[in-house]
Chains A and B, each alone.
Chain A
Amino acid sequence: MPIVKLNINQQTYELDVLPWVSLLDAIRERLLLTGTKKGCDHGQCGACTVICDDKRILSCMTLAVMKNGAAITTIEGIAEGDELHPLQKAFIEHDAFQCGYCTPGQICSAIGLLTEGKAKTREEVKELMSGNLCRCGANANIIDAIMEVKEGGSREQF
């Protein structure tokens, strides 16, 4: 089996995985980093979003072997120790989740979005966050939380 080297949340893991193992399943089932969620396994919901080499990607649509040597941040690596990332704080404050299952994907995706810097207005943020579904209907609170951080902080923060 191929050995894949993954740098996840600044820790290096070596994994023996078959080529058809998705990055999502590798992270969840092999490394037991279960913060990254599986909602569809088909690139249709955004729950599995992680940050890979500074870009937001869908880990269910990525094979683990494709990311040999890549630097990946999952939801477990977003906070600095005990200090939550501003987006994490904003999500709690704005009640931007109910069941919490889409939340890791929403937060990782929002960090990617802010890094991209393309979205200028609330409408654009909504549009560019629309790959992340929320069945609980926390949509408006999610966008409120992102807007607060976007308007409150400089881009360097991300």
Chain B
Amino acid sequence: MSDQSSVGKPVSRLEGRLKVTGAAKYAAEYDAPNLLYGYVINSTITKGKITSIDTSAATAVEGVVAVFSHENRPELPWLDIKYADMDAPPGTVFKPLYDNEIKYNGQPIALLVANDFETARYASTLVRFEYEEEFFETCLDNNLEKGRDAKKGIATLLKPPPPAPTGNFEKAFENSAVKHTAEYLHSTEHHNPMELFATTTVYEGNGKLTIFDKTQGTINNQLYVANAFGLSYKNVRVIAPFVGGTFGSGLRPQHQLFLCVMAALELKRNVRVTLDRKQMFTFGHRPQTYQKLRFSTDENGSITAMNHLAIGETSQFEDYAESVVTWSHKLYPAANTLLEYKLAPLDLPSPLDMRAPGGCTAMHAIECMMDELSYKLKMDPLELRLRNYSEIDPSTGKSFTSKELKQCYLKAAERFGWKDRNPEPGSMTRGNKLVGYGMATGIWDAYQFPSRIEAIITKEGKLIINNAVTDIGTGTFTVMTQVAADALGLPLEDVTFNYGDSQKPFSMFQGGSAIAASTASAIIIAARALKKKLLKKAKAISNSPLKAAAEDDVMFKNGTIRLKKDPMSVVSFQEIVASNNGRPVRTVNMGMPHAFKLRKYTKATHSAAFVEVEVDKELKTIAVTRAVSAVAAGKILNPKTARSQITGSMVWGISKALHEETILDEKLGKYINTNLAEYHIPVHADVNELDVIFADEPDELINEAGVKGVGEIGLVAMPAAIANAIFHATGKRINKLPVHFDELL
């Protein structure tokens, strides 16, 4: 490592200047000559058929270019597989404008294209649709009995079905000293990134398209467009260097991409389609979920039996599943477990992974259950967690590659001042406020995806790294530049990381907190290969001072290779490239998870959240006044950006517990608060002191980088910690999220 090593340092975002000056360009902000504007038209019924379309009034408006619907759309492939993206759940993928069938309210049913945005928006209101309506069901709570097992498919790889029962749950539960049963209900949530979903398609002619898209996966969307429209892969280029938040909503290609490309190809023109905020509620969402838990312990608090049943909502056409019931047994040992997961298909769009999908839903229920048990046992909630602490994964008997959860509990409890808690509900006050302390545990997967890196040393002796990955605000650009700089012993300014472009080497979509581990490991592997190649070429230079040097004898520092023993024996990268006839030295390498070695281990991140709430004694309004999260996630590459991932997730935790929900009118079968005034998220005034601790967690096993990912773990423990704090403040358990303060009145 060089003196200026930057991994582990709080480097400010390298794209910061672009973001604070407005120079960073997002998908809807690329100009193209004679650009047309498309406006999506959505179904106003929930289920049924379109019986007729009248576009005459709309097309009579000056400036309207075309109206596309199922009646006049171009010939499209019939096979579902042509529309399947890398994140498609088992089932039949939704094909926009495919036929006259309406599967959900807000379904895109037409695209109106005009010369300018205002005309497109106005004329879209003039298109008349007649429908034949059918009976529909959208409310999970009324349809729990429809719950059935989820279909299996490729997505099941990342989200395995629940494990088989162990022991005899019913008998053990019956015979246990302490037991508790509770139900938990979660509302729908929508990702609502600040940036609206948008695509700008530049029609280059000859079947070539350059597409600026809002996505978490440039290659995923490139493949989708090429397959759906029968284009060759190399002719479709998807670019997304700046992405204004996604939180899962960009994991799959969204319909504005499809419609925009379709219009561009048909009209042979450059087209932009931007959704409006209301339309941001017409695709994926976090599903409504029902959970019922029955846990029991012996008189000392050791868990004897756990039953976790979850029923999630899905669409009628795809089986979107989450890992909800797999977590409790990864945390707590119990001889008797019964873990069940069901899906109830409803007339809604398919749900879609939303930050910590399944995990934050499950851990709310599990950790509130633990709190209930702690009260029944008259035991401190933290003590109950420690009593049931497991160094191995109880569900498989495997070791963890690393697990510093205990450190998280202890450090966060200390920083928070947990010992000052009087366990009696309602016993702590501050003026006219009831004060509550609550805590909870978090756990999340540590995934790694394959990633391919091109690494190049230029004739100036600088390093270029190329990869198709996006940076959705996570800090990927900055952090990967740091990793690459250290791997080659270069200062940050000598490294260029090119990303957000499907023409660069392969990356999976940016999700599941997997990208830091995936891309960093691949960079380290590519750097190793590049160093080997550079040394070989350095040795081949005539009179090379490194002639006899082996790999272990040299160090890479500041664009040179030096003998460790004799630092004056040096060859610079520039000399190497010059001796290579001026041709840059280049390697392309694949980073892969060590599946074989790791099959003996469980990989997970952990966290502990401690939260203080204040509840107004009369009005019962709730505020999270402070929170401490301790996170164990392997090596932290950049504490500044990683901390922001955690505080951002903590705000999401506050939001899930107290603010956000999409309200469904079950009679109309539609979401009714589809705007940012009525879909509440925390504003600045709702966010108080947030403190983050990173546990020391060296992990030599997990991957080359020792990294586990921090995008989601900060959210997982927060909702339960808040709900538990509300109980501590008020003595009331509200198991439906978000908690409405009037339920405390």
Contacts and interface: CB of A to CB of B under 8 A. Distances in A.
Nearest to A102: B194
A66 interface: no
A98 B649 contact: no
A34 to B, nearest CB: 4
A27 B684 CA distance: 27
Nearest to B643: A95
Interface string B674-693: 01110001111111011000
B277 A42 contact: yes
Contact of A99 (B17, B193, B650): B193
Interface string A73-87: 011101100001000
Interface string B8-37: 000011011111111111101101000000
Contacts of B648: 98, 136-138
Contacts of B645: 98
Contact of B644 (A18, A39, A88, A138): A138
A46 to B, nearest CB: 9
B649 A39 contact: no
Interface residues of A, number: 59
Nearest to B18: A100
B651 A28 contact: no
Interface string A30-54: 0011111111111011010000000
Interface string A1-25: 0000000000000000010110001
A95 B12 CA distance: 7
B300 to A, nearest CB: 39
Contacts of A75: 20-22
A95 B13 contact: yes
B195 interface: yes
Given A38-B274, A133-B676, A136-B644, 14 more contacts: A25-B118, A39-B676, A40-B675, A40-B676, A95-B12, A100-B242, A101-B245, A107-B20, A132-B684, A135-B192, A136-B648, A137-B647, A137-B649, A143-B687
Interface residues of B, number: 60
A104 B17 CA distance: 11
Contacts of B472: 99
A70 B43 CA distance: 41
Nearest to A74: B22
A88 B19 CA distance: 9
A57 interface: no
Nearest to A92: B16
Nearest to B10: A95
B600 to A, nearest CB: 36
Interface string A111-153: 0000000000001011101111111111111110000000000
Contact of B475 (A34, A98, A104, A134): A98
Contacts of A29: 116-117
Nearest to A42: B675
Contact of A41 (B276, B650, B677): B276
A134 B631 CA distance: 23
A136 B650 CA distance: 10
A137 B194 contact: no
Given A25-B118, A91-B20, A47 B682 contact: no
Contact of A133 (B29, B194, B196, B640): B194
A59 interface: no
B17 to A, nearest CB: 7
A93 interface: yes
Contact of B22 (A25, A35, A41, A92): A35
A142 B644 CA distance: 11
A142 B647 CA distance: 12
A134 B641 contact: no
B195 A37 contact: yes
A89 to B, nearest CB: 8
A93 B686 CA distance: 23
Given A32-B31, A140-B647, A44 B675 contact: yes
A34 B25 contact: yes
Interface string B618-657: 0000000000000000000000110111011111100000
Nearest to B655: A137
16 contacts: A37-B194, A37-B244, A39-B196, A84-B20, A95-B643, A95-B644, A98-B245, A99-B472, A99-B473, A101-B26, A101-B194, A127-B684, A136-B473, A139-B651, A139-B686, A140-B690
Nearest to A93: B12
Contact of A40 (B19, B116, B277, B683): B277
A39 to B, nearest CB: 5
A117 to B, nearest CB: 18
B118 A18 contact: yes
A128 to B, nearest CB: 9
A92 B690 contact: no
A141 B12 CA distance: 13
B20 A99 contact: no
Contacts of A28: 29
Contacts of A42: 277, 675-677
Nearest to A76: B22
Contact of A34 (B15, B22, B644, B683): B22
Contacts of A141: 644, 647
B684 A139 contact: yes
B243 interface: yes
Given A75-B21, A91-B20, A139-B687, A101 B244 contact: yes
A143 B19 CA distance: 17
Contacts of B686: 139
B684 A143 contact: yes
Residue among A21, A32, A127, A134 with max Cβ neighbours from chain B (10 Å)? A134
B474 interface: yes
B247 interface: yes
A80 to B, nearest CB: 11
Nearest to B648: A137
